[in-house]
Amino acid sequence: MLLQLQNISKSFASIPALDRVNLDLQAGEVQAICGENGAGKSTLMNILTGNLQPDSGHIILEGKSVQFRNYQDATQQGISIVYQSFSLIETLSVAENIFINHLPQRWGLIRHTDLKAQTTRLLDKLQIKKISPNTLVSNLAQGQKQMVEIAKALSLNPKILILDEPTASITESETKVLLEIIRELKLQSVGIIYISHRLSEIFEIADRVSVLKDGNYQGTWPLSELSREQLIDRMVGRKLEPSTNQSFVQSEVVLEVKNLTGENFQQINFQLKKGEILALAGLVGSGRTEILRAIYGSIPIFSGEIFLEGKSLTIKHPQDAIQAGLAYVPEDRKRLGIFSEMTIRDNILAVRLDKATSNGLWNPSKAEEIAQEFKEKLRIISSSLAQKAITLSGGNQQKIILAKCLLQNPKVLLVDEPTHGIDIGAKFEIYKLLKKLTEEGMSIVLISSELPEIIAIADRILVIREGQIAGELNARTAQENEIVNLATH
Amino acid sequence: MLKILQDRTYSLALTIAVAGLIFSSIFPDNFPTFTNFSQVLLNLSIDTIVAVGMMILLISGAFDLSVGSVVAFSGCLAAYLMDFYLLPVPLAVSMALLASLMIGWLNGYLIAYQGINPMIQTLAAMGIVRGMALMLSGSGIQNLPYWFNAISQSKLLGLQMPVWYMILTVALFAFFTHKHIFFRRYYYIGANEKAAELSGIQVKKMKLYAFMLSAALAGMAGILLTSRLGAALPTFGRGMELKVITAVILGGASLQGGMGKISGALLGALFMGLVSNAMVIARISGYWQEIILGCILILAVWIDLFFAKRAIGKST
C-alpha cells in the first residue's frame, strides 16, 4: 500500500468540508476522485499536499504515519501536484520553471548546461519534442503550458502524482498524449490521483474511482464494475433525467452573418433562426471563439456583414452589440465574466445599471429587487445578494453571468463554454435553462467542447476547422465521431 | 461589529473620533478650539480636493503621479497670464483650468488608448509639467490681483473659503459616485476591466475621463493654493501626489482598484491632518511626523489584510 488516508476530517469555521474520508492508493494505480464542485476534492488535495492540516485522522505513507507540515514538506516526502490553475511564471524559461525550487547549482551559482540537459531529458521522456528548454513560458500555447506543469511535478521524481483537472484547458490530441504519459508513469509504479469532470477520460485511464459527496466519502469502486450512469448516480445521488431534445425552432431568421472575416477566421456564413440553438463545434483554437467575439464587437472584423432581424449592424464595441440586442457569456468565467470582488447584486446589474435607477439616480432597493428576481428564477444558491461572487461555486458564478445577460432581454445569446469546469448537476441546470429560453423565443449560438452535450441540446451544428466552416450537421442525427472527423480532418 | 470595522469609512471615522478625544484630553487648551480646527481644515482642504480625483482614479484601478506638478503648473500659469498679459482674473483662471484638463487628457489618452503604463506615463508627466511650471514662473510670481487673492482669502461663517470649496467638492462627488450610474461604472472597471468591457462599458473612454477629472481638480487646487498664498511658486505641490495617495489608501482605496468611497478620501486626509496637527502642538519634530504617518499607513493596510484573511472561509 503506497498511501492510506484514515478518517480525515476538516472543517472551516465549524462547517465541515470533509467528514471522515478514507482512501487508499496502490503503487502503479490510477485512482480517480469524483464529486461535484464543493464535494471536498480540493480540500482533500490541499491536505495531501500540506497546504492544509486535517482536524483529525491519519495519513499513512508507505506504512508510516506521516504529517505534512507544509507544501515543501509534502514535496520532499514524494507527493507532487499539478494544479488546474497554472503555477508557472510567464516571464521565465521552461527550464527555470521546471526546476524552480531545485536548480542544479555549484557554490550557489546556477549550472545552465546541467539545467538545460536535465530539462531536455525530462521533456523527451514526456514526448514533448517541440518545446525547447529556453523558450519563455509566455510564448507557449495553453496545452503546452499544461505539459510543462506536469514536467515540473515529475522533476521531483514523486511517488505520488496528483493531477487536478489536467485536461480542462487542453485540446483533444494533447489529452491523448497526457493519457499516454500517465500510462507510462503507471509502469514506473507511480501512484496517480486523477481529478476530472470529464467522465469519459476517467473511464479510459483510471483503475478505480473514489467518490466524494458533500464532504462525505461514498466509497471506492473498480471502474470495470461501474457504468457511466452508476457513477453519476453515486456522485449526484439522484438519477438525471434523460435529456429530451425538443426543438423550438421557428421559421423567422433572427441573425445572419455574411462573409465574416477576421484575424482567425475567414468567410463565415450562417443564419440563426428564432428559437434555435446553433452550436459551433471545433477544436480549441479553431477560431470558433473569435467568431463569437467578432459578432459581439470585442475584436475587429476585417470584412463581412452582420444582420439582425434583417437590419445591417455596425458593431464597433460590445456596447453597440448590447444595444442591438446581443448578449455574450464569455469563456474563462473568472477572467472575463465575473467581477469576483463585487456582490452578486452588482454582478447581475453590470450591463444594465440604468434599470435600477429612479429619476436617473441609482436606487439600491430597486437593484436588490431585480437581483432577487433573477436569483430565484435561475436558482442561484447563496446566503445573500451581498455575497461576493468569488465565494460562489463555478455553477453559481455562471448563473450570475447568465442573469446579467438575461437582464438585457436579448434577442440573441452568444454562449462560450458555459459548462467549463462546473459540476454535473449545475451543467444540466444550465442546459435546461438554455432550452427554456429558446422555448420563449430566444436564439442561441453555443460553443462547447463537450460533444455529447452539444448533440443533446443543439438543433444544428456548424463544425469550424482552421477558421472556416468545415461542415454542417443536424444535431438530431449527428454522431460524435462525425463531428471529430470534420473538426480534425 | 466585524463588518463595521471592515468598512474603512466607519473604522477610520471611529479612529478619528478616538484620536480627537485623546488629543483633546492631552492638549485641552490648544487642540479642541475652533481656531485650531479651522486651521487644520484649511491645511487639508487643498490636498483633499486633489484626493477626490485620485480616489476616482484608484477606484478605476489607476493612479496619477503628476497631480502635484499640475497644482504648481495651474497656479503658475494663472499668475503668469495675469501678471504678464494682464488678463482678467476669470479668464486667467479658466485658461489655467483648461490647460490642466489638457494635461489630464494627454495622460488619459496615452494610458487608455495607447497602453502606456499609468505609473510610467504620470511619472514622466510629473517631470514635464513641473518643468513647465518652472519655465513660466522662474522663482515665483507675486503681486497678484486683489480679486484673485479673494478667491481663497475671504471667509464665510468663520471658515476660510478653501474649506468650503473642499466641502462642496467632496459632497458633490460623494453624491455622484454613490448615486450616478456613470460614476458607479468605475467600480466595475476597477474590479475587472475585461469583464467590464464585455459588459458594454466603454472602459477606455471612462479611463480618459477619470484622468481628466483628476487633473482638473488638481488644477483647481493649484488656483486655490496660489490665491491663498498670494503668490505662485513652482515648488507648489512637491510630494503632494504621494501624500494624497497615502490619504486615499488610508481612506479605503486599494491599488488593485474597485474599492473606496469619496468620503474615505476626506477621512484619510482629515486623519493625517489631525495627527500632524497634534504633533505640531506637542512640538514633535517634523521628521517624526513622516515616520509616524508611514507607520500608520502600513498598520492600516495590515489590519485590512488581517480581516480579509479571516473573512475567507474555504476555497473551492
Q: Which three cell numbers stand for residue B46?
A: 487643498
The Cα of B144 is separated from the nearest Cα of chain A by a number of Å equal to 42
Where helices occur in chain B by DSSP H, the ranges are: 2-6, 8-26, 34-59, 67-84, 89-108, 118-137, 146-153, 161-179, 181-191, 193-198, 203-229, 240-250, 262-281, 286-311
Q: Single out the residue of B10, B20, B57 nearest to residue B40, CA to CA.
A: B20
Q: Which three cell numbers stand for residue A447?
A: 460553443
B258–A43 CB contact, under 8 Å = no
Angle subtended by helix axes A172-187 and A480-488, to nearest 10? 100
Question: How are beta strands A361-362 and A357-358 bridged, if at all?
Answer: antiparallel
Contact status, residue B136 vs residue B96, Cβ threshold 8 Å:
no
Out of B178, B188, B194, closest to residue A350 by CB? B188
Contacts of B180 in chain A (CB under 8 A): 360-362
Q: What is the DSSP letter of A15?
A: E
Q: Single out the residue of B31, B50, B49, B76 nearest to residue B169, CA to CA.
A: B49
Which residue's entry shows cell 429619476? A359
pLDDT of A99 reads 84
A341–B258 CB contact, under 8 Å = yes
Angle at Cα A125 formed by Cα A123 and Cα A131, nearest 5°?
20
A298–B259 CB contact, under 8 Å = no
ipTM > 0.95, yes or no: no
Residue with the bigger pLDDT between A296 and A428: it is A296
Contact status, residue A195 vs residue A168, Cβ threshold 8 Å:
no
* Residue to test with chain A: of B60, B177, B199, most A Cβ within 10 A: B199
Beta strand residue intervals within A144-228, DSSP E: 160-164, 191-195, 208-213, 216-222
Q: In this structure, how many other beta carbons lie within 10 angstroms of the beta carbon of residue A412?
A: 24
Contacts of B197 in chain A (CB under 8 A): 298, 318
Q: Which three cell numbers stand for residue B231?
A: 503668490
Contacts of A12 in chain B (CB under 8 A): 313-314
Contact status, residue A203 vs residue A4, Cβ threshold 8 Å:
no
The Cα of B141 is separated from the nearest Cα of chain A by a number of Å equal to 45
Residue with the bigger pLDDT between A253 and A229: it is A253
Contact status, residue B200 vs residue B194, Cβ threshold 8 Å:
no
A350–B202 CB contact, under 8 Å = no
Rounded distance, CA A270 to CA A458, Å? 15
Element (DSSP H or E) covering residue A327: strand A326-329
Out of A319, A328, A342, closest to residue B202 by CB? A319
Residue with the bigger pLDDT between A382 and B92: it is B92
The Cα of B261 is separated from the nearest Cα of chain A by a number of Å equal to 14
The Cα of A355 is separated from the nearest Cα of chain B by a number of Å equal to 10
What is the tens place of the pLDDT at every residue in B208-255? 999 999 999 999 999 999 999 989 999 998 889 988 998 999 888 888
Rounded distance, CA B188 to CA B195, Å? 8
Contact status, residue B73 vs residue B99, Cβ threshold 8 Å:
yes
What is the tens place of the pLDDT at every residue in A180-223? 888 888 888 889 999 887 788 888 889 999 988 878 888 898 98
Question: How are beta strands A412-416 and A443-447 bridged, if at all?
Answer: parallel
B313–A337 CB contact, under 8 Å = no
Cα first-last separation, chain B:
27
Q: Which three cell numbers stand for residue A367?
A: 437593484
Beta partners for residue A24, in sequence order: A4
Rounded distance, CA A17 to CA A173, Å? 36
pLDDT of B222 reads 95
What is the tens place of the pLDDT at every residue in B161-204? 999 999 999 999 999 998 888 999 999 999 999 999 998 899 99
Contacts of A340 in chain B (CB under 8 A): 191-192
What is the tens place of the pLDDT at every residue in B130-139? 999 999 988 8
| pLDDT level of residue A330 (50, 70, 90 thresholds) | very high
Contacts of B185 in chain A (CB under 8 A): 353
Cα first-last separation, chain A:
45
B200–A346 CB contact, under 8 Å = no
| pLDDT level of residue B64 (50, 70, 90 thresholds) | very high
Residue A242: pLDDT over 50: no
Decide if B205 touches A, using CB distance below 8 A: no
